[in-house]
A = this chain, B = another copy of it.
Amino acid sequence: MDTLLKLAAPDMRAVDALIREHMDSPVPVIPALADHLIAGSAKRLRPLLTIAAARLAGARDDACLKLAAAVEFIHTATLLHDDVVDSSELRRGRVAAHLIWGAPASVLVGDFLFARAFELMVDAGSMPALEVLARASRVISEGEVLQLTRSHDLDLSQDVYIEIIKAKTAELFAAAAEAGAISAGASPERCRALRRFGQDLGLAFQLVDDALDYSGDAGTLGKNPGDDFREGKVTLPLLLAMGRTGAAERDFWVRTVDRREQTDADLERAIVLMTETRALEDTLNLASRYADSAKAAIADFASNSWRPALQDLADFAVARRA
């Protein structure tokens, strides 16, 4: 990750300036609320992906910078709406915006950032890149609705779970990389390869996120571990543990996940069951396989320094603790 951050540093400074400039508004609460969330983002993984994909594909101009800023705005807008939808308390190590400014302001500032993203894309001037990011925005919302309506289902299948995280998380990673490649004038084949890289990276990233919710700690995570469990959100660690503990623990899962009647000790018990059944381990193993698949997708790009840096990013996505 460090090599990539160093390589991309000048571009990311320019992206940061674009973000600051475009989150401004004469309506005071908008930049205040947007800044609360955007300043909390240390990694800016998605715009980084746009930059890296564009540079790996040979981009020599700055067309990718506006698209990268647009990608971060789309991401931030979905976070704002997500936190309202889930009533989350913490985000990026800070109190969630809706608890400070209220849910109405969070919804509307999300809309503002989403619209700004499209203004930036218009400014970037590439209709094919715009198409990719418009479709991604729609797919993300479908994934969020699917999660909302299905993810409290004890009988959720692994297929539907993968479908949900592919839409709500991996699609923006895929689109971020693809849009970067498009802006560099890459061939359709190269655009597809970088899209594939983004998608597999995004799946690995979300799987690790879902594992960290049971194994990370609040200080490093920037959010409360155990949130998914408390919300009764069925993710892969839970899904595997429920399947593997079978009838013996059915009552425990029905009470804690389906009815959401929990005591403080229940989260610990869930983590013990996940460890005993190797549910956490296998979630991380699946993440590793996606990371390997991501690396393979760009293996035959000419090795300018961006290729190994992006491949390191895939390893980082799996190894990270936050």
Q: Residues of A with Cβ closer than 8 Å to B? A: 25-30, 77-78, 81, 84-86, 103-105, 107-112, 114-116, 118-119, 121-122, 125, 127, 130-131, 134-135, 137-138, 140-142, 144-146, 148-149
Please indicate the chain B residues that have their CB under 8 angstroms from the CB of A28 in the complex: 149
A146's contact among B27, B81, B85, by CB below 8 Å, is which?
Answer: B27
Q: Can you report 14 A-B residue pairs in the complex whose CB atoms are below 8 A from each other?
A: A81-B107, A86-B104, A103-B103, A108-B145, A111-B114, A111-B140, A111-B141, A112-B141, A115-B134, A119-B138, A122-B127, A122-B134, A125-B127, A127-B127
Which 3 pairs show the lowest CB-CB distances between chains A and B? Answer: A115-B138, A115-B137, A112-B141
A142's contact among B27, B131, B135, B137, by CB below 8 Å, is which?
Answer: B27
Known: A30-B142, A84-B104, A107-B84. A122 touches B130 (CB 8 A): yes
In whole angstroms, how far apart are the Cα atoms of A137 and B113 in the complex? 10
Please indicate the chain B residues that have their CB under 8 angstroms from the CB of A84 in the complex: 103-104, 107
Please indicate the chain B residues that have their CB under 8 angstroms from the CB of A130 in the complex: 118, 122, 130
A128, chain B: closest CB distance, angstroms: 9
Q: How many copies does the complex hold?
A: 2
What is the interface of chain A mostly: helix, strand, loop, or mixed? Answer: helix
Please indicate the chain B residues that have their CB under 8 angstroms from the CB of A26 in the complex: 142
Known: A119-B134, A127-B125, A130-B122. A108 touches B148 (CB 8 A): yes
Known: A122-B131, A127-B125. A145 touches B81 (CB 8 A): no
Please indicate the chain B residues that have their CB under 8 angstroms from the CB of A134 in the complex: 115, 118-119, 121-122
Known: A119-B135, A149-B27. A142 touches B81 (CB 8 A): no
